Amino acid sequence: MKKIYLVILVLSFITINVKAQSVEDSLRDQITEMKDRINGIDERLMTSESDLSKLTKIKLSGYIQTQFDNFENKAVQPNNYFSLRRVRLKATYEAADGIKFVVQPDFSPSGFSLKDAYVVLNDHFIKSGMFKNSLSLTAGKFNRLNYEVEYSSSQRELPERSTVIRALYPGERALGFKLEVNPQSIPIKLQLGMFNGNDGGFTQFSDTTGKSANNNIENKDFDNFKDIMARATYSLKLGDFGGLDFGAHAYFGSLKSSTNATLHSDYTTVDSSKVGDAVKRNWFGAEFQLFADVLGGMSLKGEYITGKNAMLGGSKFANGSLLPNFQNNFAGYYVYLIKNIGSKNQFAFRYDYYDPNTDITGSDVKVVKYNGDASKKIGKLTSSKADLAYTTLTFAWHYYFDDNIRISLAYAIVQNEKVAKNTAGVGNLTESYTNPDGTTGVNDYSDVFKQNQLTIRLQAKF
């Protein structure tokens, strides 16, 4: 009997061990399966974290400017309309410490355009001294080196840039590179850039009247000449009163001659040239920005630019002779006064002057002529509207609904330089126009006729 109990006990122990081993194996399999699932989750989490890390390096910003314009110049038709002035979306990607990519397109109804596309590389090789982490290289398409050009359209106190800036830098941006030095221990910034030179279009005479046409050439140079630009600014702290920034910039550029002569803006001097020769465009500017912490905040800023601009010839007269290139001495400046009114309002005023031809006065327009030299096949070119100086006084009031919404009201008073009158008492320069009802009228440049403009703008940015 004892043997039977012993056998039963042994069998029971074996059965229990077998079941325990089975349970242990099952539990081990479940644990292994759970580990695999957890590892899969970890991998997915690591992938998600990696993707999320990339997304956090991307910063999106932008703004929309919707506006209404009313023009008092009867030659402008329609003389009032709504428009989307700018629709910008800017993407900035911080690829690594000191490396930044920027792309900014404009989606305005007038046509899609790529405003900015560049990379910024900050120097990390200089570990000590006054130039530690002070160097940067920018390459691609970006703003030219000028204060008002580099001042963002979403922050500027008036609807458009000054006349002289729009005349010299019509596209604002250019393709090339920029080297910038901004030492941490010295309040100075030095910029040196090289650009294709034709970005934003260049101006070319189109006929014997001296009218011009813009030829937009983007993303490709058409000659071997390059633009060189340099800008230097220095900042001073004026105690508790505020601060003063001042500086200068220079531009050295050339256009490829398309004809065999270059006429100067006195309409009497001509230089022989060959097709393909460099037609120089050089100018210098001085700037200042005064910021005063008084009565809620105020700033006064301005710039003066003078030098020699150029336009290409090449179009033919009726007799087959070629229109010459044109080099003109010019001068222009602007002065801003900006005053904060409380925390929600701001007043801005700008006096803006631009003379595209300092060699002749308004009374000389359509009088001073270059009669040409038949041997040089230049023909005859007469001074025109393009030689007149303009003064613009612009007033603006801004209401900041919040940090992202700004409502602006601006009024620009435009005054042209007067030309002389002929024996019939009519200006030597006139401009005909057609009214909406079909009747015609004439703008006489021997007087200051209405050319003012009213702008109401709503800007939303993020």
CATH number at residue 190: 2.40.160.10
Mean pLDDT in residue range 293-307: 93
Whether residue 261 is found in the same domain as residue 373? yes
Q: Do residues 63 and 86 touch, judged by C-beta distance below 8 A? A: yes
Question: Which residue, 22, 38, 56, sits at the end of a domain?
Answer: 56
Predicted confidence at residue 272, as pLDDT, reads 83
Instruction: Give the SS3 label for residue 334.
Output: strand
Token code pair at residue 19: 């079941």
Whether residue 141 is found in the same domain as residue 211? yes
Whether residue 111 is found in the same domain as residue 156? yes
Number of neighbours of residue 114 by Cβ within 10 angstroms: 13
Q: Containing domain of residue 86, as a range?
A: 63-461
Q: Which amino acid belongs to residue 127?
A: K
How sure is the predictor about 208, in pLDDT bands with cuts at 50, 70 and 90? very low
Whether residue 32 is found in the same domain as residue 67? no
Whether residue 427 is found in the same domain as residue 360? yes
Whether residue 9 is found in the same domain as residue 107? no
Could you report the per-residue pLDDT of 21-31, keeping only the tens digit for each? 555 566 666 66
Could you report the per-residue pLDDT of 362-388, keeping only the tens digit for each? 999 988 765 555 444 455 678 889 999
CB-side neighbour CA atoms (13 Å) of 148: 30
- DSSP tag of 325: E
Mean pLDDT in residue range 304-313: 93
- Could you give the CA distance from residue 226 to residue 447 in angstroms, rounded to a whole number? 41
Q: Which amino acid belongs to residue 8?
A: I
Mean pLDDT for the chain overall: 85
Question: Which residue, 56, 75, 94, sits at the end of a domain?
Answer: 56
- Could you give the CA distance from residue 158 to residue 410 in angstroms, rounded to a whole number? 7
Among candidate residues 426, 150, 432, 137, the one with its CA nearest the CA of residue 287: 150
Given the DSSP bridges, would you call strands 325-341 and 261-264 parallel, antiparallel or unpaired? parallel
- Could you give the CA distance from residue 163 to residue 171 in angstroms, rounded to a whole number? 13
Whether residue 228 is found in the same domain as residue 345? yes
Predicted confidence at residue 3, as pLDDT, reads 57
Whether residue 45 is found in the same domain as residue 82? no
Tokens 């024996």, residue located:
423
User: Residue 332 pLDDT more than 80?
Assistant: yes
Cα–Cα distances (Å) from 33 to 152, 181, 407, in that order, read 58, 59, 62
Whether residue 168 is found in the same domain as residue 46? no
How sure is the predictor about 164, in pLDDT bands with cuts at 50, 70 and 90? very high
Q: How many domains does the chain have?
A: 2
Q: Do residues 400 and 286 touch, judged by C-beta distance below 8 A? A: no
Whether residue 10 is found in the same domain as residue 140? no
Whether residue 95 is found in the same domain as residue 153? yes
Question: Which residue, 37, 56, 75, sits at the end of a domain?
Answer: 56
Taking the alpha carbons at both ends of the chain, their separation in whole angstroms is 94
Helix, strand counts (H, E) of the chain: 3, 24
CA of residue 301 relative to chain centroid, distance: 19
Does residue 297 come out as left (phi exceeding 0), alpha (psi in the -120 to 50 range) or beta? left
Whether residue 7 is found in the same domain as residue 148? no
Q: Do residues 197 and 221 touch, judged by C-beta distance below 8 A? A: yes
Q: Do residues 233 and 146 touch, judged by C-beta distance below 8 A? A: no
